[in-house]
Amino acid sequence: MDEVIQVTHWLSSITPRKKAKLFFFTTHADTPSPMVGSNDVDTHEETQLPLATTVALHNFKNIDEFLKKKVNTFSCYSVIENEITKTDYEYLRFYSACKYLDVVPPFLDLEKISAIQNKFEMTDEERDYRLLLDSADLVLEKVCDSLKPAGVSQMWTALRKDRNLIRGVKTIDIIGFFVGPNPTGIKECLFFFIVRFLQKADKINRVNTNRLERLIAQCDETSSCEEGKTIDFIIDSLRFYPTELYPFGFCLIMCVIEGRDGAMQEIEKTMEISRHLGMITHTEKNPTKETIELVKKELMKPKYQFYSSFTCWFMSHGDSNSMVLADGETIEREWFLTSFPDISTFQLKPKVFFMVSCRGANKFSLKGDEFEGQSATCDYYDIGSAPIRNRMLDITDSVRDISYVQPMMDTLVAYSTILDHLSGRANTHGSIYVDRACVLMSENISRGRSLTEILEHLSQHMHEILQETMDEDRIVYKQACHYDSFFRKTLKLPYTRHPKEDVHSAPQ
């Protein structure tokens, strides 16, 4: 069959709503630029104009032409070895979006997908198409699905009132002031136009969604929300870090085994819970400073930008300022913690560090006969209330900026003990903190708990456990864990274990 006929037949089989979503996922806002093979043409018109004309004319002609052009580009594309291009990213995004929406063209060359994945040095686990989907876009898709056409129209009206934001934007004028997005798929096109417009204007990104939340908050709940949804529910969905689908993130486990009884148990437990949570995991036993530098260099590779989060377990001996490595050398804890969050592939994504080591020799000792022989080796303002909100300081858009981010933002560091104190362990099972943390995370899958909720529960658990030193004094003591958070959103554990079975990926 002629390729033109195949493409036409393929497009005719896709519903308008799926076409709008395919366009949205394919024109992902954070595609790296400039890239090899990229020109200097402003992509704003390429991503905004088809959506604007579709809304204005109530037909999908321009989106169809965009998708045809993409298919033709991929058909003629020759994969260049050892050189990642902009087209490589676009090809992977297009394939994953088609797979997600169940509209994969039968004529799409999957061997090229495999060749591109080879260039990214993807493992078998990383060839799962779900890794290639952007979690932030999936959250925005759900927001769109929760709104009725009237709700999106109300968002559009509110946006048009911000004259400073829309001044001089031609695509805004194409759509007009009042829109009735009732034909199938037009609601999606208008919503995705609003989202991409705000992203291009540097008003929202995967973490900063306040400007979009404010537009949604201006909608009338009775006419704007789909059945069973509310304005609060929709806005709340934007206040979590986007970690949709599999994998939940990338997990790095570093564990010094030498001189640490039970260390292998620590590795097994952390590997098990990370996989149970749906993370792709890498383990480094007996790390040295050279190992750490090599891992940091590895994490800078382009493939890691597809991950939604980063988690690191570091388990070793230590003191108040440093951690002991396998070769006996030490590294400053602060140096370790500040060097990883600055890796560009994980910017604007949650980064969690579990630091499991002593931070000194002090103990919260318990004295008394009852402990002998016992051990287990400001006012609140509701900003959703209009009367109160009206009395608060008005922070205008002119004094807001989301372009520059302090490297430690979106990072959480969980410590097994407080400064200058011991971190207890059992002879056969290793760190008690690691054991309890893994148990609590495993128990709370499907309960909708956030990571910080679990860490607070973990703090309660740890401070109930009586431990005993292994020296001749046999002192009974308690351990207190804590965490420092620079999070700007809430990180929830997945509701269910992410399946790895029955995964349809490109041929190897």
SS3 477: strand
The CA distance from 292 to 338, in Å, is 13
Q: Taking Cα atoms as reference points, which of 160, 385, 439, 466 lies closest to residue 276?
A: 439
| Helix, strand, coil % over all residues of the chain, rounded to 5 | 45, 15, 45
Radius of gyration of the chain (CA): 26
DSSP 8-state symbol, 421: B
Give me the pLDDT at residue 369, please. Answer: 55
The CA distance from 36 to 332, in Å, is 38
SS3 380: coil
**For residue 328, what are the CA distances in angstroms to 3, 140, 257, 324?**
64, 48, 12, 6
Where are the extended beta strands (E) located within 127-248? none
DSSP 8-state symbol, 392: S
How high is the mean pLDDT in each 10-residue block of the chain (508 residues)? 85 96 84 44 68 91 94 90 87 94 92 94 94 94 95 92 82 77 87 94 92 94 92 93 88 94 92 91 95 94 94 94 93 90 87 93 64 45 43 66 86 92 84 91 82 92 83 82 93 67 41
Handedness of CA 181, 187, 190, 195 (dihedral sign): positive
Give me the pLDDT at residue 465, please. Answer: 85
Give me the pLDDT at residue 104, please. Answer: 94
The runs of H, that is alpha helices, within 77-162 are 86-101, 110-119, 129-132, 135-146, 149-160
Give me the pLDDT at residue 403, please. Answer: 80
- Per the document, the length of the chain is 508
Give me the pLDDT at residue 463, please. Answer: 86
SS3 375: coil
CB 156 within 8 A of CB 175: yes
* The token pair that represents 92 in the structure block: 């992977």
The CA distance from 466 to 474, in Å, is 12
In a 13 Å sphere around the CA of 475, the CA atoms on its Cβ side amount to 13
CB-based burial of residue 289 (10 Å sphere; 0-12 exposed, 13-18 middle, 19+ buried)? middle
Give me the pLDDT at residue 35, please. Answer: 43
Residue identified by tokens 């946006």 is 159
Q: Taking Cα atoms as reference points, which of 136, 133, 152, 141 lies closest to residue 209?
A: 136
In the β-sheet with 364-365, what is the strand arrangement from edge to edge? 364-365, 476-478, 467-468
